[in-house]
A and B are shown apart, each in its own frame.
Chain A
Amino acid sequence: MNKSVLTQPLRLSSVSVVQLFHSLTTTMLRLTAGRVGSLVARRATVALTTNSARMASHEVAQAVDMSQPMYVDRLDTPLPDRPYTDVLTAADKSLKQKEKGPWSQLSQEEKLALYRLAFHQTYPEMKRPSAEWKTVLGGMFIFLGFTGLLVWWQTAYVYPPRPRTFDKEWQAKQLQRMLDMKVNPIEGFSAKWDYEKGQWK
């Protein structure tokens, strides 16, 4: 078991973290430029490059080294294999040093900053509802409707003529023949027919 994982602050799942995160961005507490970003921050694992390198090149997708421990935002993985940011600035490093002391001496913003160093999204952020269901239902109904059109065309242009066995007269004669043959006379079909009266029981 990786010891560094145990010293990370645990993943918070309360809504208060999100509210405090909002207050965090509004009070403009910034560790580095662009580190504490907006809620639509990308989930790309770009930890291999520093910020300045990313700003220098155009945004080409960096090849991720899959042999190294990776960070991942997953509901079933509360403690990923590595912290979200592992290239720390001097301010981050001093904060990490302060984290080694008693945690009661950390201010609320510092605790949140440490959390955001270790994790990218909180559980409420990961679980945030999306409008995808509308797309799914809409697509479903579109395809169902199209299939309905196909089926209607098929009944009009593909089906052969209806077999004569479906006519009402033929079915009546068939029923009479089944009763004459005494199909299932003990517990089934003909058992329910009253032969004396000539009607169903």
Chain B
Amino acid sequence: MSLAKPVMRGLLGKRLRFHLPIAFALSLVAAIGFKYGVTEPRKRAYADFYKQYDAVKEFTAMKEAGVFESVRPSGE
């Protein structure tokens, strides 16, 4: 019985040549996915919120609700 000699060298190199491109590609996909799935919508949400933001109106609403200690609602 003469079996072929098994591969003795270059095993790590072979594994890296196979897995490293896949790893880099998947990482890139994950990063791009996160950017356009999470960060861009979040930036747009913040921009839209502050486009129509009236700070004084919000402050007055909170003051009337009674959450502040320095300034009480106008009724008291």
Asked if A and B bind, the verdict is yes
Residues on A close to B: CB < 8 A? 177, 180-182, 185-187
Residue in B42, B65, B66, B67 whose CB lies within 8 Å of A187: B42
The residue in chain B whose Cβ has the minimal distance to the Cβ of A180 is B65
- B49 to chain A minimum Cβ distance, whole angstroms, is 5
A177 and B42 in contact, given A182-B58, A182-B62, A186-B49 (Cβ under 8 angstroms):
no
B positions within 8 Å CB-CB of A: 42, 45-46, 49, 58, 61-62, 65-67
The secondary-structure label for the interface of chain A is: loop
A–B pairs, 7, beta carbons within 8 Å = A180-B62, A180-B65, A180-B67, A181-B67, A182-B62, A186-B46, A187-B42
Closest residue of A by beta carbon distance from B58: A182
**Chain B neighbourhood of A177, CB < 8 A:** 67
- Chain A nearest CB, measured from B41 CB (Å): 9
A182 to B65 CA separation, bound complex (whole angstroms)? 11
Contacts of A185 in B (CB 8 A): 49
- Given A177-B67, A180-B67, A181-B67: 9 more A-B contacts, CB < 8 Å: A180-B61, A180-B65, A181-B62, A182-B62, A185-B49, A186-B46, A187-B42, A187-B45, A187-B46
Closest CB in chain B relative to A189 CB, distance in Å: 14
CA of A182 to CA of B62 in the docked complex: distance in angstroms?
A: 8
Which among A177, A182, A185, A186 has the greatest number of chain B C-beta atoms within 10 A?
A186
Contacts of B66 in A (CB 8 A): 180
Complex Cα gap A182–B42 (Å): 18
Docked complex Cα distance between A52 and B65 (Å):
98
Q: Point out the residues of chain A lying under 8 angstroms from B62, CB to CB.
A: 180-182
Shortest Cβ distance from A185 into B: residue: B49
Which A residue sits closest to B42, measured CB to CB?
Answer: A187
Residues of B within 8 A of A182 (CB): 58, 62
A106–B41 alpha-carbon span in the complex (Å): 80
